[in-house]
């Protein structure tokens, strides 16, 4: 029996983020379309060459995208909403594509209105990853028709260079499941969509493709009857059309959908054995003899080196009975490209890691061990085994002090002392705030000066003292301005922070950082998640000095600003050798220490941001509540150590709050600020229905737009808020993200916001 290696998809952005820079130059008009396409083609060629050299048998094509692979497919199917057709210079050209991706500003008319401007498609998270796709839209009555067949072009491009590839195509059921239908169920269009898929597959067959990787990650979620029926119908039709289909599932186990998937008339099935290792036996039992199995055994979502011996022990009996493909659990899109680009990483930590390139090398090793025997690769296997063994015991990872502290956590440590009502009474006394108190979410503009100073400091051109002095001046200016404009609760401005997670990760033990470990978040935007490798502790206070300095400049309360444990966890690569919940609890204890130190220093209001709490929700409904339980628990552990008089704030970004309202209530924060400016306060309905007991600051200023809102608009929004909540519950603040705006926009907007609050107070 033979074992081969597939990769499912390679990072697109390039080892030095070449795609990002080419896109930005193109958008800025500095290069033309030809140059952009040339840069993209260069990246594709390099990716094929790299994967081939590393030993990939099944090279992917069409995994590359200029912006987003879901958008590529929508455009290929002609799902282009009318608003873009009107704004387009031609049919589905690059201009239309980027208008759908990022919106387009037309020519201004001098009074703030733009002609020919069009908003971007909605962007949302790709399953439970940090990658964002553009939500497909199908308008009522919209004609779907094939546009340029990018997938066929990419296949031919590879072939012309001597690479035989297996094109990657997002499957019809997943695409329809992600689509929004503007009042109509996208599945009403199933047959139209299938006709187009059949044409695409025929086109690929004509071009010579023997196999197509058809991705249906929706198969690892709870499916409706309509989705199940669609699977049967779709694959009955597509499986006969041309190339053989490798039905590819990832981000979880098939579970109750296994019999459905195994019965589809496809030629191959890829399963995720990293998220769901236990499904192997069931898959083997359900898979017909002729079905080619692709086993996702290397983690495509995380950065750890695999335990190859353990994997071989599982794979050897399987490989003895059938042909196998070995693959990462999912596309390698979600991990950084190459560990070799990280010369500064600690050597001990480095040996535990594997990025995309190293993961393919692991697959190659496993294949050789299975095809030619372990002895053929004895040495690299021994190295991997040594790394795995050291990781199990290294004192870099395992800290007895942290373990002891965790063991000593009692349930009472998650509870505040007084009831919400008692707390609210003492806090009112201590803080003495007016009705409708005004505040902001934490950051102020990260101007070119701020970024420049940080970069100079990073390069060593600006010494610590000089940088510190610069930041102090920025902070002092921000405090002075907040007093002048009349805000009630101030913030220091977060000028010293590069990123709300990285800033804390850098000061906690147990985290490592990369230089080039970028992962695509959306389009040209990349993030560099910290790597949480070991037990977490806080060697020293992280924010107290900055808070003390800011508070020393004013008599008004300055909020302490922290990032919460769940958000730090969700935006990092985390340990795979213990449950996420355990890592989260460790971070919570570290934040709890910081909260205690802030309180001791005299801080009367502490905000613990949980921007990413909602997005950590698992894909299966039944896993939702257990996740929320430990997430809320961790937040409470971080926050509840304070006296009743200390006001705990939290903040959450725009998200579907309704299903998690009980959890938000259970966090027991005294004040929560949320993003609502775009929703006309509709989000507050849920809070009202649920009788949310705490204080709420619904955002009244949509900071995502350069537009400065008027006092009247914000008064109107706050009156809407009062339809849902009692006036005593309400705070007034903007949405989050002031760091992305300019001072020229922030100053008048916040001044108008303060004026709005005064007007509301005047009328009582």
493 SS3 class: strand
Q: Smallest distance from the beta carbon of 650 to Zn ion, in angstroms?
A: 10
Residue 327: name the closest of 371, 354, 293 by CA.
Answer: 293
Q: Smallest distance from the beta carbon of 449 to ligand GLN, in angstroms?
A: 18
Report whether 653 belongs to an annotated binding site.
yes
Token reading at 527: 């993030």
**Tokens 């005294």 map to which residue?**
670
Residue nearest to ligand GLN (CB): 442
Q: Smallest distance from the beta carbon of 132 to ligand GLN, in angstroms?
A: 14
Q: Smallest distance from the beta carbon of 738 to ligand GLN, in angstroms?
A: 6
Query: Nearest-5° angle of CA 486, CA 490, CA 494?
Result: 130
Give residues with Cβ within 8 angstroms of 762, minimum separation 6. none
What sign has the CA pseudo-torsion 334, 339, 345, 348? Answer: positive
633 binds, among Zn ion, ligand GLN, none (CB under 5 to 8 A by kind): none
The interface region with Zn ion, picked from 241-249, 289-297, 620-628, 647-655 by CB under 5 A, is 647-655
Report whether 736 belongs to an annotated binding site.
yes
Q: Smallest distance from the beta carbon of 510 to ligand GLN, in angstroms?
A: 23
206-209 long-range contacts, CB within 8 A, separation 24+? 206/242, 207/152, 207/155, 207/156, 207/159, 208/155, 208/159, 209/155, 209/165, 209/166, 209/167, 209/242, 209/243
258 SS3 class: helix
- In terms of Cβ atoms closer than 10 Å to its own Cβ (0-12, 13-18, 19+), residue 117 is middle
Cα–Cα distances in angstroms (integers) from residue 530 to residues 13, 394, 568, 584, 711, in the given order: 19, 20, 9, 14, 41
- Per rule CB under 5 A, count of chain residues that contact Zn ion: 3
Q: Smallest distance from the beta carbon of 703 to Zn ion, in angstroms?
A: 10
Contact 50, 357 (CB under 8 A): yes
Query: Nearest-5° angle of CA 161, CA 340, CA 522?
Result: 70
Report whether 674 belongs to an annotated binding site.
no
Cα–Cα distances in angstroms (integers) from residue 516 to residues 168, 335, 341, in the given order: 26, 11, 7
Q: Smallest distance from the beta carbon of 611 to Zn ion, in angstroms?
A: 5
443 binds, among Zn ion, ligand GLN, none (CB under 5 to 8 A by kind): ligand GLN
Does position 653 bind Zn ion by CB under 5 A? Answer: yes
Closest CB to Zn ion among residues 77, 611: 611
Residue nearest to Zn ion (CB): 736
Contact 422, 644 (CB under 8 A): yes
561 binds, among ligand GLN, Zn ion, none (CB under 5 to 8 A by kind): ligand GLN
Report whether 525 belongs to an annotated binding site.
yes
Q: What is the dihedral of CA 273, 127, 190, 102, to 10 degrees?
A: -140
CB atoms under 10 Å from CB of 244, counted, come to 15
Rounded CA-CA distance 674/748 in Å is 21
Q: Smallest distance from the beta carbon of 594 to ligand GLN, in angstroms?
A: 14
709 binds, among ligand GLN, Zn ion, none (CB under 5 to 8 A by kind): none
524 binds, among Zn ion, ligand GLN, none (CB under 5 to 8 A by kind): none
Rg of the chain's alpha carbons, rounded to an integer? 27
Closest CB to ligand GLN among residues 185, 656: 656
Is 704 catalytic? The answer is yes
Closest CB to Zn ion among residues 653, 684: 653
Report whether 518 belongs to an annotated binding site.
no
Does position 287 bind Zn ion by CB under 5 A? Answer: no
Closest CB to ligand GLN among residues 44, 739: 739
Does position 736 bind Zn ion by CB under 5 A? Answer: yes
132 binds, among ligand GLN, Zn ion, none (CB under 5 to 8 A by kind): none
Residue 302: name the closest of 268, 344, 272 by CA.
Answer: 272
Closest CB to ligand GLN among residues 179, 611: 611
Closest CB to ligand GLN among residues 105, 705: 705
Residue 381: name the closest of 398, 367, 393 by CA.
Answer: 367
Report whether 17 belongs to an annotated binding site.
yes
Does position 500 bind Zn ion by CB under 5 A? Answer: no
Closest CB to ligand GLN among residues 273, 653: 653
* Residue numbers 50-109 binding Zn ion by CB under 5 A: none
442 binds, among ligand GLN, Zn ion, none (CB under 5 to 8 A by kind): ligand GLN
Q: Smallest distance from the beta carbon of 453 to Zn ion, in angstroms?
A: 25
The interface region with Zn ion, picked from 9-17, 81-89, 283-291, 650-658 by CB under 5 A, is 650-658
Report whether 443 belongs to an annotated binding site.
yes
Contact 234, 268 (CB under 8 A): no
Closest CB to Zn ion among residues 214, 736: 736
Report whether 609 belongs to an annotated binding site.
yes
Residue 194: name the closest of 175, 218, 166 by CA.
Answer: 175
Q: Under the rule (CB under 6 A), what is the footprint of ligand GLN?
A: 441-443, 500, 561, 609, 611, 651, 653, 736-737, 739
Counting every residue written for the chain, the total comes to 764
381 binds, among Zn ion, ligand GLN, none (CB under 5 to 8 A by kind): none
Closest CB to ligand GLN among residues 536, 561: 561
Report whether 689 belongs to an annotated binding site.
no
Phi, psi of 335 (to 5 degrees): -125, 160
Report whether 457 belongs to an annotated binding site.
no
Q: What is the DSSP letter of 153?
A: H
Closest CB to ligand GLN among residues 66, 653: 653
Per-residue three-class SS string for 561-595: EEECHHHHHHCCECCCCCCHHHHHHHHHHHHHHHH
Does position 683 bind Zn ion by CB under 5 A? Answer: no
307 binds, among Zn ion, ligand GLN, none (CB under 5 to 8 A by kind): none
Contact 408, 702 (CB under 8 A): no
Q: Smallest distance from the beta carbon of 410 to ligand GLN, in angstroms?
A: 30
Q: What mask, x for binding Zn ion by CB under 5 A, covers residues 580 to 619?
A: -------------------------------x--------
Report whether 200 belongs to an annotated binding site.
no
Contact 493, 511 (CB under 8 A): no
Give residues with Cβ within 8 angstroms of 245, minimum separation 6. 211, 212, 214, 235, 238, 239, 266, 267, 268
Residue 7: name the closest of 49, 46, 57 by CA.
Answer: 57
Q: Smallest distance from the beta carbon of 15 to Zn ion, in angstroms?
A: 31
Q: In terms of DSSP bridges, do strands 509-512 and 531-537 run parallel, antiparallel, or are they unpaired? A: antiparallel
Contact 654, 613 (CB under 8 A): no
335 binds, among ligand GLN, Zn ion, none (CB under 5 to 8 A by kind): none
Report whether 130 belongs to an annotated binding site.
yes
Q: In terms of DSSP bridges, do strands 324-328 and 292-298 run parallel, antiparallel, or are they unpaired? A: parallel
Phi, psi of 647 (to 5 degrees): -90, 125
| H or E segment and range at residue 598 | helix 580-600
566 binds, among Zn ion, ligand GLN, none (CB under 5 to 8 A by kind): none
Rounded CA-CA distance 247/171 in Å is 8
Closest CB to ligand GLN among residues 457, 704: 704
Report whether 441 belongs to an annotated binding site.
yes
Per-residue three-class SS string for 674-694: ECCHHHCCCHHHHHHHCCCCC
Spot the catalytic one: 398, 704, 723, 724: 704
Enumerate the known binding-site residues. 17-20, 125, 130, 441-443, 494, 525-526, 571, 609, 615, 651, 653, 675, 736
- The residues binding Zn ion (CB under 5 A) are 611, 653, 736
Enumerate the known binding-site residues for Zn(2+). 651, 653, 675, 736
Enumerate the known binding-site residues for L-methionine. 441-443, 494, 609
Enumerate the known binding-site residues for 5-methyltetrahydropteroyltri-L-glutamate. 17-20, 125, 130, 525-526, 571, 615
Catalytic residues: 704
């Amino acid at each position: 029996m033979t074992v081969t290696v597939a990769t499912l998809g390679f990072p697109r952005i390039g080892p030095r983020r070449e795609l990002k820079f080419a896109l930005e130059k193109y958008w800025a008009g500095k290069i033309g379309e030809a140059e952009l396409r040339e840069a993209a083609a260069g990246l594709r060629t390099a990716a094929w060459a790299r994967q081939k050299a590393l030993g990939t048998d099944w090279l992917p094509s069409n995994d590359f995208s200029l912006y987003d692979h879901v958008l590529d497919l929508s455009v290929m199917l002609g799902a282009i909403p009318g608003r873009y057709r009107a704004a387009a210079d031609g049919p589905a050209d690059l201009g239309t594509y980027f208008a759908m991706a990022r919106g387009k500003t037309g020519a201004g008319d001098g009074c703030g209105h733009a002609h020919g401007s069009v908003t971007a498609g909605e962007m949302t998270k790709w399953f439970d990853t940090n990658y964002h796709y553009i939500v497909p839209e199908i308008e009522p009555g919209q004609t779907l028709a094939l546009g340029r067949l990018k997938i066929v072009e990419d296949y031919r491009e590879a072939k012309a260079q001597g690479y035989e590839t297996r094109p990657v195509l997002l499957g019809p059921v997943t695409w329809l499941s992600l689509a929004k239908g503007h009042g109509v169920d996208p599945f009403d269009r199933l047959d139209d969509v299938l006709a187009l898929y059949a044409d695409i597959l025929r086109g690929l067959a004509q071009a010579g493709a023997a196999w197509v990787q058809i991705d249906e990650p929706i198969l690892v979620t709870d499916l409706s009857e309509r989705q199940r029926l669609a699977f049967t119908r779709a694959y009955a039709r597509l499986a006969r059309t041309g190339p053989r289909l490798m039905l590819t599932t990832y981000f979880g186990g098939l579970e109750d959908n296994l019999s459905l998937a195994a019965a589809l008339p496809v030629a191959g099935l890829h399963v995720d054995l990293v998220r769901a290792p236990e499904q192997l036996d069931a898959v083997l039992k359900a898979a017909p003899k002729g079905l080619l199995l692709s086993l996702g055994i290397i983690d495509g979502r995380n950065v750890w080196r695999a335990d190859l011996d353990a994997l071989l022990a599982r794979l050897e009996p399987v490989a003895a009975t059938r042909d196998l493909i070995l693959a990462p659990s999912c596309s390698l899109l979600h991990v950084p490209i190459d560990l070799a680009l990280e010369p500064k990483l600690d050597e001990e930590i480095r040996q535990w890691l594997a990025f995309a390139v190293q993961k393919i090398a692991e697959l190659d090793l496993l294949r050789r061990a299975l095809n030619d025997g372990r002895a053929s690769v004895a040495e690299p296997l021994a190295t991997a085994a040594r790394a795995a063994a050291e990781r199990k015991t290294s004192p870099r990872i395992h800290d007895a002090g942290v373990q002891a502290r965790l063991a000593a956590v009692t349930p009472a440590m998650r509870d505040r002392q007084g009831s919400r009502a008692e707390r609210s009474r003492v806090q009112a006394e201590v803080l003495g705030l007016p009705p409708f108190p005004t505040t902001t979410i934490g950051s102020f503009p990260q101007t070119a000066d701020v970024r420049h100073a940080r970069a100079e400091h990073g390069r060593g051109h600006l010494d610590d003292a000089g940088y510190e002095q610069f930041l102090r001046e920025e902070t002092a200016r921000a405090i002075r301005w907040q007093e002048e404009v009349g805000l009630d609760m101030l913030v220091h401005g977060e000028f010293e922070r590069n990123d709300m997670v990285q800033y804390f990760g850098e000061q906690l033990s147990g985290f490592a950082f990369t230089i080039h470990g970028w992962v695509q978040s959306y389009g040209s935007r990349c993030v560099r998640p910290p790597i949480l490798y070991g037990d977490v502790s806080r060697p020293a206070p992280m924010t107290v000095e900055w808070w003390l300095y800011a508070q020393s400049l004013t008599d008004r309360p300055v909020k302490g600003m922290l990032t919460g444990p769940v958000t730090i966890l969700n935006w990092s690569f985390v340990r795979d050798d213990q449950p996420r919940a355990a890592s989260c609890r460790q971070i919570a204890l570290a934040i709890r220490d910081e909260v205690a130190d802030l309180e001791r220093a005299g801080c009367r209001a502490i905000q613990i941001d949980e921007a990413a709490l909602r997005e950590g929700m698992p894909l299966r409904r039944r896993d939702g509540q257990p996740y929320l339980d430990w997430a809320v628990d961790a937040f409470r552990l971080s926050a509840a150590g304070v006296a009743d008089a200390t006001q705990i704030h939290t903040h959450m970004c725009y998200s579907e709050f309704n299903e998690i309202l009980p959890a938000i209530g259970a966090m027991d924060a005294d004040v929560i600020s949320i993003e609502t400016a775009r929703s006309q306060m509709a989000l507050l309905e849920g809070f009202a229905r649920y009788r949310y007991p705490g204080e709420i600051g619904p955002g009244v200023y949509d900071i995502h737009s350069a537009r400065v809102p008027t006092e009247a608009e914000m008064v109107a929004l706050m009156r809407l808020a009062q339809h849902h909540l009692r006036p005593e519950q309400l705070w007034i603040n903007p949405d989050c993200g002031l760091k992305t705006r300019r001072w020229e926009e922030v100053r008048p907007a916040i001044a108008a916001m303060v004026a709005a609050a005064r007007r509301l107070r005047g009328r009582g």
